[in-house]
Amino acid sequence: MARYVPIVRWLPGYDRADLRFDAIAGLVSWGVMVPVAMAYAGLAGMPPDTGLVTAFAALTAYAVFGTSRHLKVTTSSSVAIMSASVVLAIAAGNAAYYVQLSAALALIVGIILIVAGAARLGFLSQFLAASVVTGFVIGLAFTITVGQLPALLGVPGTSGTIVQELMAIVESLDELNPYTAALGIGSMVGIFVLKRIAPRIPGALVALIVGIALSTILDLPEEGVAVVGDVVTGVPIPGLPSIPIGDIVFLVAGAFGIVFLALAESIGAARSFAVRHGYEIDPDQELIALGAANAGAGLFGGFSVDASFSQSATGEAAGNRTQVSSLIAAGLILATAIVLAPIFANLPLSVLAAIVIASVLGLVNIAELRRYLAWKRTDFLLAMTALGGVVFTTALMGMAIAVALSLLAILYQASRPYIAVLGRIPGDPPAFADADRHTSAEPVQGFLLVRPNVPLTFVNADVAKDQIMTLIRARPSAPEAVVLDIGATADLDVATTDMLDALHKELQASGIELRLAQVRGSVRDRMRRTGLMGVIGEDHCYLSDEAAVATPLPSPQPGAPQVEIGEM
């Protein structure tokens, strides 16, 4: 049980000395999460009170099932807007059904993640390139900001592309509500100023309190300032949403986009905190925990969730030691939903918009884009393409583009192996290195030693063979033997097996011997099962490059045919 429910393992041994730190971190997290959760509920198209319920359910579930001591799984701007993009397509303007669909989507996301974790698919988190995720998140931040401007300024909102939305906002500026705009812009500026001069004070909570106070004292709703209105008190009884099977199929398709984003953001954040604090996480269990958080949110009528790096970092800065801090924050959020919910009725929507914009602008990492541009322009282009995909299409389509780009980048790199020509560096024992990079690496008489920099697979096997033959043809005279170092290859697929068989026969026809070096045990086993070992020979497979060149070359047979490589 402890394998799948980690809290059973660590809570009985909880160090009471950590309670003071966790309590403070939980209190600070509560102060940050309450306004942010209500604001992100708006991004998801949900009533503000569902943000509190969602945060409570997600924090509690992750604390029970998660392996990170610092991660806070709660409402997320990126996942909230992706949830809205999926649900809007089928809600048909029915507000009550919209809530049901959002809850069902969260439940489906949770089930997919739990199944993925049980199947040990945590490694899939590595298939979204960091540069693509960076571009996607920046694109989302820009999209969210533009979408919140009407509420911030008190002008009519519109739907359409980013350009159309911006043009509509500019054209509507003559309808701007000065009270709304002053309150919204003032709140946003206040949040940024507090973050600069007093980072320990939760600016979003201060903006929320001041906004409610001003709205109530000055009776701002009478001046045309839009407010939250009636807020449902309490927590709904958990239950399954009632959704037709046709809509469920549509939700499943959209859920995978959220799953991929959650995979990349959550496990990446969990690893970051684990490295900083010197402990290990279990990626597969993290999927189960993230799935439980989403399923919990769905059962309580909430919306999809993700790990929040910024809110996790806030807890870390406040002294977070364990997930007890999340349980404390969840308890305080529950109390807020039950007792304090009516207070939020006079909360101006412009303040919520300011909180959203201030939060998402913190996700815009221009320094990271500069790093990509300076270090590797391919990563910069991937990031900018993902960014453009979100801005000029939709969040869901942007995620599809991001996933496709990541897979294409992986396949492209794998399909273009670099074949290093190795030389021997004298020593005891001698080393073998890329002769183009090490001037002390000397060629071995009679041999051509080559090493692919990636594992050989169906993606690159034929390309690698062509490159090897090109290297042979480029030499003034053909080598007596080619040593192929396949240490990077842990197994052989059918295409690679066929390639090695063809390479052996092609070289043999030219009087050149093929030797394999750094051959792993798993590769030898595969060669025996496929019959390739009988073709190449056990005595032509070596554990090291040195062993491959130390074995004497056979003496030329009188009258043996010599075929020019260029004629083949």
How far apart CA 534 and CA 217 sit, in angstroms, is: 89
Scored b (16 or more CB within 10 A) or e, 419-433 reads bbbbbbeeeeebebb
Give the total number of structural domains in the chain.
2
How far apart CA 297 and CA 163 sit, in angstroms, is: 34
pLDDT category at 192 given cuts 50, 70, 90 is very high
The model's pLDDT over 408-452, given as tens digits with 9 standing for 90+, comes to 888 888 888 999 999 999 888 889 999 999 989 999 999 999 999
Provide the pLDDT for residue 563: 47
With CA atoms as reference, report the closest residue to 483 among 463, 499, 468.
Answer: 468
Query: Does residue 356 share a domain with residue 460?
Result: no
Q: Are 214 and 179 in contact (CB under 8 A)?
A: no
pLDDT category at 565 given cuts 50, 70, 90 is low
Query: Does residue 369 share a domain with residue 485?
Result: no
Query: Does residue 148 share a domain with residue 233?
Result: yes
Query: Does residue 389 share a domain with residue 439?
Result: no
C-alpha distances out from residue 109 to 76, 269, 295, 357, Å: 14, 19, 7, 26
Judge whether residue 228 has pLDDT over 50: yes
- Average pLDDT over the chain reads 89
- Give percent of the chain above pLDDT 90: 56
Query: Does residue 336 share a domain with residue 440?
Result: no
Query: Does residue 192 share a domain with residue 139?
Result: yes
Residue 390 forms part of a structural domain: yes
Residue 8 forms part of a structural domain: no
How far apart CA 568 and CA 560 sit, in angstroms, is: 17
The model's pLDDT over 122-136, given as tens digits with 9 standing for 90+, comes to 877 777 777 888 888
Beta strands 419-425 and 431-434, pairing class: antiparallel
Residue 1 forms part of a structural domain: no
Beta strands 481-485 and 431-434, pairing class: unpaired
The model's pLDDT over 204-216, given as tens digits with 9 standing for 90+, comes to 889 989 999 999 9
What DSSP character marks residue 74? Answer: E
The reply to whether the predicted model has a pTM over 0.85 is no
Domain CATH number, residue 512: 3.30.750.24
User: What type of residue sits at position 56?
Assistant: F
Residue 7 forms part of a structural domain: no
Query: Does residue 334 share a domain with residue 422?
Result: no
Question: Whole domain around residue 165: which residue ranges?
Answer: 17-411
pLDDT category at 568 given cuts 50, 70, 90 is very low
Domain limit, last residue, from 411, 440, 474: 411
Query: Does residue 451 share a domain with residue 381?
Result: no
Query: Does residue 210 share a domain with residue 114?
Result: yes
Residue 459 forms part of a structural domain: yes
Query: Does residue 431 share a domain with residue 394?
Result: no
Provide the pLDDT for residue 77: 85
Residue 549 forms part of a structural domain: yes
The model's pLDDT over 44-102, given as tens digits with 9 standing for 90+, comes to 999 989 999 999 999 999 999 999 999 999 998 889 988 998 998 898 789 999 999 99
Judge whether residue 526 has pLDDT over 90: yes
Reading the block at residue 517, the tokens are 């070096």
Which residues have CB under 8 Å from 78's CB, separation 6+?
Answer: 136, 137, 140, 261, 265, 306, 363, 395
| Residue labelled with tokens 């999460």 | 33
Domain limit, last residue, from 367, 389, 411: 411
Angle at 507 between CA 503 and CA 509, to 5 degrees: 120
DSSP-based three-state secondary structure for 491: coil
Residue 25 forms part of a structural domain: yes
Residue 231 forms part of a structural domain: yes
Query: Does residue 457 share a domain with residue 390?
Result: no
Query: Does residue 495 share a domain with residue 358?
Result: no
Domain limit, last residue, from 386, 411, 436: 411
